[in-house]
Amino acid sequence: MGNSTVRHFIKNNEFAFVLVLAVVLSFAIFGNGIFNDFTFDDVSVVQNRGDLKDPSNFFNLFISPYHHLEKIGLFRPLTMATYAINHYINDAVLPASSSSFQQAAGFRAVNIIIHALNSFLVFWLVRYLFPPKADPPLADKNKFLSYATFLLFLTHPIHTEAVTSIVGRAELLAFFWSLVAIYFFVKKDILLSSVSLLFALLSKEVALMVLPILFYISWIHFKNSFLATTRRTLVFALPVLVYVILRYKALGAYFLGDATTTIVENPLKFMDWSERIATAFKVLYMYLERLVWPIHLSADYSYNTILPVQSFLDPTFLVGAIFFVFLVWLLFFGRMRHLIGAFGALVFLAPYLMVSNLIQPVGTIMGERLMYFPSFGFLLLVSYALYKLFEKINKKFVYAGLTAIIIFFSIRTMIRNNDWHDARTLFTATLEESPNSLIARMALAAVDVTENKWDSAEEQLNIALNIYEDNSRVQNLWGIIADHKNDQDLAEEKWLRSLELNPDAVNAQINLAELYAKQGRLKEAGVYFKQVIDFYPVTEYVIRYAYTQIALNNPDEAIKTIEYYLGDDLNHPDISALAGTAYFVKGDYKQALFYLKLAQELGNMAKEIEEMMQISKGNL
């Protein structure tokens, strides 16, 4: 097939060609991260969520908080539903002995596919809003714009956190459904656009900012009157209302947003107004730096990584503020001459303002995944700047420069994927970039504990204590190390302090429950095991709580707990043995015999089961 034939084929099948190219490149660039382990928030949000693994709970996800606690103020049910489907597929196709790396692969493959679709939609939107004016494919300046934005968006290393980190799927899905909503809006299918907007909102809250983008497209780009545009976009009040109702159902009094951010997650919330605004512009500078030169990437920017700005003459504040003012100017005053630039400024600013901490503090000070949506606008501006260079220099130099950038981005992304291989590689890489990160210190110490590297864990603890002592995670780690040294009094003191700092610290609750059970303080152990399963109903802790209640001669509470949390899992040797023991202690020997016999049939041949069976038979 000659070059002219290839060009003719691409011209007639261009969107299909770009879609295939997006999928191929997305897997080529992000594929080396598919078999990474669950890391960071993947563990608590995805891997260990029992409610995501129970098919009977699927529809309940749509009225459930993103995290277990309502007070965190996050509601992303569509994202959770996709995690649940991933779990169901894993259960169907993977053997029970599969490693966590194998289990995580399916989740990451889905992320890579969504990113490919998003990149394709970027191409489509730029092509649709700013169509080529000349016929020859791939040579026209405007056509260059769509391909350049598409390739830069697909390969940019700042997207690694959204694509390779499984919990980044919330960003991917919100972006996907937002662009689908735009697609149907410009095609004048308001019903499907409204449904897509609802799906976007159910993926992540940032999708709300697609509304000003839809308004802008109708008013400025398609030159509809302000009144007509207002009437047309008012129909989106219905999907927003549906979202608000579901969100209120899931979060109750916390449906307006985050109420529990600490100084560790977002120090900006605890600064005075002027210092918060100045530091927020410094954060914008840091985002800009990573968009332009994505070398120094980090999985964490929390306390003590970004130091507050003390002066409005600080260069980082000035650069961030100037960039912000430039975008605002481009949006409101530059659109007559630079419509493409104005649209790029809007697509950056609209989602960015929701996470900027400029309007009000949010849950985190900074996160690279938060740049997924805004980066589209920034990369459109970069492509537009390259497009303008066509008028100044030979286009071959522009193509060469773009090619070099794409190759650089691709290589950097593939290298960055390796940082997310497992918890140790991720937090080691994070501390190289952010050595004062309290969260990364605690996370690496936790890895040391699981690997029995106690000296290293204690070293990390001592560094953390110098950064910030009054943190629940720091106190919990201190208790773990004290317990390892058999100083149970100190361990108890530190775990109680951890809960004082954060009453919902489930790890401290687990540790206290285990300590009290070991000491024979069963009533206190039961209190903390109950708190654990109310928030984190994992089978292991449900069983521990039930046995505690049996030991306290409270079999009715044990049976109630079994029925509520494990009713669908009684066909298990340990759980049926638990039920049989509870009924035995209650004196219901008929039910006890039924479940104890079932436990034996399922392979539990413990001597105690046989003894209880003999006593039960003698009492019938």
Q: What is the pLDDT of residues 206-262, one digit of tens each?
A: 999 999 999 999 998 888 999 999 999 999 999 999 999 999 999 988 888 755 678
- The 10s digit of each residue's pLDDT in 33-86 is 999 999 999 998 999 887 898 888 899 999 999 877 787 889 999 999 999 999
The pLDDT of residue 49 is 83
Residue 12 pLDDT grade (very low, low, confident, very high; cuts 50, 70, 90): low
The pLDDT of residue 57 is 87
The whole-angstrom separation of Cα 525 and Cα 495 is 13
Residue 282 located in a structural domain: yes
Residue 189 located in a structural domain: yes
Backbone φ and ψ for 142, nearest 5 degrees, come out as: -70, -35
Q: Dihedral of CA 134/136/139/143: which sign?
A: positive
Question: Which SS3 state, helix, strand or coil, does residue 261 take?
Answer: coil
The whole-angstrom separation of Cα 365 and Cα 431 is 17
pLDDT for residue 401 is more than 80: yes
The whole-angstrom separation of Cα 177 and Cα 183 is 10
pLDDT for residue 138 is more than 50: no
Please report, rounded to a whole number, the percentage of residues in the chain having pLDDT higher than 70: 95
What distances in angstroms separate CA 159 from CA 101, 116, 412, one per listed residue?
Answer: 21, 12, 11
Residue 10 pLDDT grade (very low, low, confident, very high; cuts 50, 70, 90): low
Domain limits at 182?
3-417
HSE of 473, CA atoms in CB hemisphere, 13 A: 19
| Three-state SS sequence of 395-408 | HHHHHHHHHHHHHH
Residue 372 located in a structural domain: yes
Q: Dihedral of CA 184/185/190/193: which sign?
A: positive
Question: How crowded is residue 245: how many other Cβ atoms within 10 Å of its Cβ?
Answer: 12
pTM of the model: 0.91
Number of domains present in the structure of the chain: 1
- The 10s digit of each residue's pLDDT in 556-579 is 999 999 988 887 667 888 999 999
Q: What one-character DSSP code corresponds to residue 99?
A: -
Greatest CA separation for the chain: 98
Residue 388 located in a structural domain: yes
The pLDDT of residue 331 is 93
Residue 197 pLDDT grade (very low, low, confident, very high; cuts 50, 70, 90): very high
Residue 341 located in a structural domain: yes
Residue 485 located in a structural domain: no
Residue 392 located in a structural domain: yes
- The 10s digit of each residue's pLDDT in 311-337 is 999 999 999 999 999 999 999 987 767
Q: What one-character DSSP code corresponds to residue 608?
A: H
Beta strands in 474-545 (DSSP E): none
Residue 216 located in a structural domain: yes
